[in-house]
Structure 1
Amino acid sequence: MYVNRDRALTAPAHDSAAVVAELRDRTEITDALLRFGLGQDLKDKELFASAFAADAELDFRPAAAKWGAKPPLMSGRDTIVTTILGMFTGRVDTTHQITNARITIDGDTAHLTALVEAQHLLSADHTKHALLKNPYAVDLVRDGDRWVIRRLVIDNTWFVGEPTAIFG
């Protein structure tokens, strides 16, 4: 589930063109997850949607199970965007910090693991909050010159606050 290779790049060091191509892919792969986080934080529908393939899946069930919630698997870019932004816009302020990105690439598919700290505060009362430390497992596909998320599984290592106030 998590990328645990002993090196970042697979292109041979002496092949400059291959190294540059791999670095570009890695930057675009990471950017897909950054668009996911910043799109939520800014409540920017276009930016958020740009992170996903049309047939994307978002699985928040492993994380939510930690506090007893049972959300459905979200399928399809439009459903994901409508559900997440609909749940947060005007009600929840968020910030996402994304670290520890590890990537493997296989042709036009890739796998990314990252650690995401997600702060959620009720807009009307910032004393109601949930701070989550979540490992992400992300499957991506090439979409022209960029990469998009096909499947995102969010687990939870720990949380503080009141996730039920934020997520229901």
Structure 2
Amino acid sequence: MFVIDEFAVSVPSADTTAVVRELRDRAEILDALYRFGLGQDLKNRELFASAFTADAELDFRPAAAKWGGRPPLMVGRDTIVTTILTMFADRVDTTHQVTNPRVAVDGDTARLTALVEAQHLLTADHGAFALLKNPYDVELVRDGERWVIHRMRIDNAWYTGDPTAVFG
């Protein structure tokens, strides 16, 4: 599942133009995942939607299966944004922290793997929570100067709390 390339930058260091281009791509690729997390945390529809292609897929089924959840595969930016933001609106407070990101760029496509710690607390009772450590596997495509998520698969390494209280 994880990107395990030996180097952070794949182009020769002597090719300054190529290095700068790849570093910019890597920053934009990571920014897509940051927009995904922060858009949820701020409940900001525009920021959250900006992370995805129109035909994006979000697969939370592997993570949910760890505690018996059975969410559908979410297909389409509008479906993803509406489903997640509606599920959390006025009910769940979230924070997402991204660690250990690894990126592999191949022309106008890229793959990103990362660990994301996601804290979910019921707004009315922060004693009801789910803290999840999730490996993310993300496929992205170039969209002009930025990168957007085309497919995202979220698994779960561990959790504490009660995910069913948060996700149903």
The TM-score, its normalising length taken from structure 1, stands at 0.99
Unaligned ranges ≥5, structure 1: none
* Cα deviation, residue 60, structure 1: 0.1
The Cα shift of 1:31 comes to: 0.1
Does residue 88 in structure 1 map to residue 88 in structure 2? yes
Residues of 2 paired with 1:43 and 1:52: CA distance? 15
Amino acid at match of 2:34: L
| Alpha-carbon separation, structure 2, partners of 1:2 and 1:140 | 15
Shift in Å at residue 151 of structure 1?
0.3
State how far apart, in whole Å, the 1-side matches of 2:18 and 2:114 are. Answer: 24
**d(CA) in 2 for partners of 1:56 and 1:2?**
20
The residue aligned with 2:77 is 77
- Residue of structure 2 equivalent to 1:106: 106
1:10-159 matches, within 5 Å, as: 10-159=10-159
CA shift, 1:57, in A, is 0.2
What is the distance in 2 between the residues matched to 1:87 and 1:69? 14
Q: Deviations over 1:79-138 (max 9, x none)?
A: 000000000010000000001000000000000000000000000000000000000000
Q: Which amino acid aligns with 2:123?
A: S
Which 4+ stretches in 1 moved above 6 angstroms? Answer: none
Aligned pair count reads: 168
SS in 1 for 2:160: strand
- Please give the alpha-carbon distance, in whole angstroms, between the structure 1 residues aligned to 2:102 and 2:2: 8
TM-score by length of 2: 0.99
Q: CA deviation at 1:7?
A: 1.0
Amino acid corresponding to residue 78 of structure 2 in structure 1 = D
- The AA in structure 2 aligned to 1:159 is Y
CA distance in 2, matches of 1:151, 1:86: 21
SS of the aligned residue for 1:28 comes to helix
Query: Could you tell me how far apart the structure 1 residues matched to 2:167 and 2:7 are?
Result: 37
RMSD across aligned positions (CA): 0.4
Residue 163 (structure 1) aligns with? 163
